[in-house]
């Protein structure tokens, strides 16, 4: 076989390869998973083959929806962190941060103390679906004046310090 014929045969084999069943996959397509309702400040974790998410609810109850997905595209409402607001609080339920550590699930969140400042609080559960138990505020703004009463820059974030092997809560 001469060189030019070999090139033609090689080109035909390469061009035909994607047509052979099982040799190539079509690219996955999906529609942007816009969820009905209001879901700002989402937080998502992976638990096994599932994804769990929660989001800000502001003044609405149930507080912090729990959403479940197996593909990050199709989501179902699986419940809420709180069916009724925590008794220590009066709204401003913002920026929940869902995380897992050693078989426990944590939702750190912002809430407003009754007649007081914004606070970072935590709720825990043994499963991502709950039920969650509220443990109340961990830290609150020091001063609550007319100007700071409406402050909004008070969100929690969880980090892991590998040198200390401890989870760290940051806020601000």
pLDDT in tens, 89-127: 998 899 999 999 889 999 999 999 999 888 999 999 999
For the chain, which residues make up each domain, given as ranges? 35-171
- Three-state DSSP class for 116? coil
This prediction has a pTM of: 0.74
- Phi then psi for residue 77, to 5 deg, are -75, 120
- Phi then psi for residue 16, to 5 deg, are -85, -20
CATH of domain 35-171: 2.115.10.20
Q: Is the model's pLDDT at 31 over the cut of 60?
A: yes
Q: pLDDT digits over 61-92, tens only? A: 789 999 999 999 899 999 999 999 999 999 88
- Three-state DSSP class for 166? strand
């Amino acid at each position: 076989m001469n060189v030019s014929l070999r090139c033609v045969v090689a080109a035909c084999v390469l061009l035909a390869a994607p047509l052979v069943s099982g040799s190539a996959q079509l690219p996955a397509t999906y529609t942007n998973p816009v969820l009905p309702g209001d879901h700002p400040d989402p937080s998502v974790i992976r638990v096994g083959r599932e994804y769990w998410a929660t989001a800000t609810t502001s003044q609405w109850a149930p507080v912090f929806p729990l959403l479940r997905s197996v593909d990050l595209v199709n989501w179902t409402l699986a419940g809420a962190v709180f069916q009724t607001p925590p008794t220590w609080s009066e709204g401003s339920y913002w920026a929940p941060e869902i995380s897992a550590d050693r078989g426990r699930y944590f939702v750190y969140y912002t809430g407003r103390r009754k007649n007081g400042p914004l606070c970072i609080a935590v709720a825990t559960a043994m499963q991502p679906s709950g039920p969650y138990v509220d443990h109340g505020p961990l830290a609150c703004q020091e001063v609550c004046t007319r100007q700071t009463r409406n402050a909004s820059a008070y969100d929690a974030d969880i980090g892991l310090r590998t040198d200390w092997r401890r989870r760290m809560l940051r806020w601000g």
